[in-house]
């Protein structure tokens, strides 16, 4: 379980994933059942689905497993093709939806499968009917786990169980923050900051993504004045129309980014939308765009390296769960970077 084992709050996940896993294990149900994981952006739905997907005990119950990142542009052809490619571990050249569906039906036939549809937005009943047709050939106890922001999506997909992802429990919030804001997670070395830190954590409203992205930059500013500034009201105001999709708290992480790194992050908002990149590729692209600033005693590659690891340490990049050598950008951070360059 590579992703789960790197997660800071395994206890929390283990406890909660059991509930979804129990449904996924439930072989007495003879339908291909859909389970919804529902919650707002940055709550941890994908992370949660990954823990369930990678759970050895859960996987034992299925002959075929695959994961599809669906996102906003729902396209039955593309999703069906990704599922087929996933379950056959190959790349098909089929260009017709009907033919794809026939092949998928054949592959699923009699097999107990586990399919994760991550980040579904589409509420069109007809699209879901089309997509789900081949799933009916799966064996008893097959499961589809859907992550979505929207309860309505879950009901269109006729989930038999819905698991709302809750805010991080209060006791977990501080430890997650401390791991990002203090070196070695040691908040005792900075007692003067603890009170401000607690207040900052309160304002993050239990959203792990916000706690991480606020905490990360603060490790470079272990100073009471700076932490007080972070608490200042305007930075936490509710979003207005123009910024409605950007969590106000996340804007802080951009504000605190060293000047040289801002264009690099902004550039990545175009590049990293739904793509994973290797460090070396990214550094070459930054170089080609003239985004790295020469420094004495350092090669361009070393400067790119520094930028890269700074963006990871601030949780603006995250390592891909499929390939640890690649990084991806969370969609909310992507929105943030796009917003900031406008």
Ligand X SMILES: Nc1ncnc2c1ncn2[C@@H]1O[C@H](COP(=O)(O)OP(=O)(O)OP(=O)(O)O)[C@@H](O)[C@H]1O
Question: Which residues lie near Mg ion (CB under 5 A)?
Answer: 46, 119
Phi, psi (deg, nearest 5) at residue 340: -70, -20
Asked if residue 182 lies in contact with residue 54, where contact means CB atoms within 8 angstroms, the answer is no
Asked if residue 327 lies in contact with residue 319, where contact means CB atoms within 8 angstroms, the answer is yes
Q: Which does 163 bind (CB under 5 to 8 A by kind): Mg ion, ligand X, none?
A: none
Stretch that binds ligand X, among 6-14, 98-106, 271-279, 303-311 (CB under 6 A): 6-14
**Footprint of ligand X on 202-241 (CB under 6 A):** 208-209, 212
Which one among 149, 167, 203, 229 touches ligand X, defined by CB under 6 A? Answer: 149
Q: Which ranges of the chain does DSSP label H, i.e. alpha helix? A: 2-6, 10-25, 45-54, 56-59, 76-88, 97-108, 125-132, 151-156, 170-181, 191-203, 208-218, 224-231, 248-255, 261-271, 279-288, 300-313, 331-341
Which one among 21, 24, 35, 43 touches ligand X, defined by CB under 6 A? Answer: 43
Shortest Cβ 210–ligand X spacing (Å): 9
Which one among 39, 134, 216, 304 touches ligand X, defined by CB under 6 A? Answer: 39
Adjacent-strand bridge partners of 327: 277, 319
Integer Cα distance of 171 and 169 in angstroms: 6
The distance in angstroms from the start CA to the end CA of the chain is: 39
Q: Which does 32 bind (CB under 5 to 8 A by kind): ligand X, Mg ion, none?
A: none
The smaller minimum CB distance to ligand X, of residues 108 and 328, is found at: 328
The smaller minimum CB distance to ligand X, of residues 235 and 312, is found at: 312
Residues that bind ligand X (CB under 6 A): 7-9, 12, 39, 41-47, 119, 149, 168, 176, 208-209, 212, 318, 330-332
């Amino acid at each position: 379980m590579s992703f789960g084992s790197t997660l800071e709050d395994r206890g929390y996940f283990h406890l909660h994933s059991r509930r979804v896993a129990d449904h996924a294990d439930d072989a007495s149900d003879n339908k291909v059942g859909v389970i919804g994981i529902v919650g707002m952006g940055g709550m941890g739905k994908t992370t949660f689905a990954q823990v369930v997907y990678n759970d050895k005990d859960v996987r034992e119950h299925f002959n075929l497993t695959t994961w599809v990142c669906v996102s906003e542009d729902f396209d039955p052809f593309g999703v069906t093709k990704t599922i087929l490619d996933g379950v056959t571990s190959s790349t098909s050249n089929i260009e017709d939806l009907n033919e794809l569906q026939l092949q998928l039906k054949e592959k699923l036939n009699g097999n107990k499968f586990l399919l994760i549809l991550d980040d579904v937005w589409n509420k069109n009943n007809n699209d879901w009917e089309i997509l789900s047709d081949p799933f009916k050939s799966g064996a008893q106890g097959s499961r589809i786990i859907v992550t979505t922001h929207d309860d309505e999506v879950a009901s269109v997909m006729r989930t038999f169980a819905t698991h709302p992802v809750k805010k991080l429990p209060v006791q977990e919030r501080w430890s997650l923050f401390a791991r990002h804001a203090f070196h070695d997670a040691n908040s005792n070395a900075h007692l003067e900051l603890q009170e401000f830190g607690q207040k900052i954590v309160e304002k993050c409203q239990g959203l792990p993504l916000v706690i991480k992205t606020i905490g990360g930059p603060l490790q470079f500013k272990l100073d009471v004045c700076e932490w007080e500034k972070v608490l200042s009201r305007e930075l936490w105001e509710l979003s207005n129309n123009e910024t409605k999709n950007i969590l106000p708290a996340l804007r802080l992480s951009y504000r605190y980014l060293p000047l040289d790194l801002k264009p690099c992050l902004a550039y990545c908002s175009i590049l990293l939308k739904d793509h994973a990149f290797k460090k070396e590729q990214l550094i070459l692209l930054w170089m080609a765009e003239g985004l790295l600033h020469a420094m004495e005693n350092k090669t361009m590659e070393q400067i790119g390296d520094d930028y890269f690891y700074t963006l990871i340490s601030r949780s603006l990049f995250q390592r891909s769960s499929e390939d640890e050598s690649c990084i991806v950008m969370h969609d909310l951070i992507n929105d943030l970077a796009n917003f900031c360059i406008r």
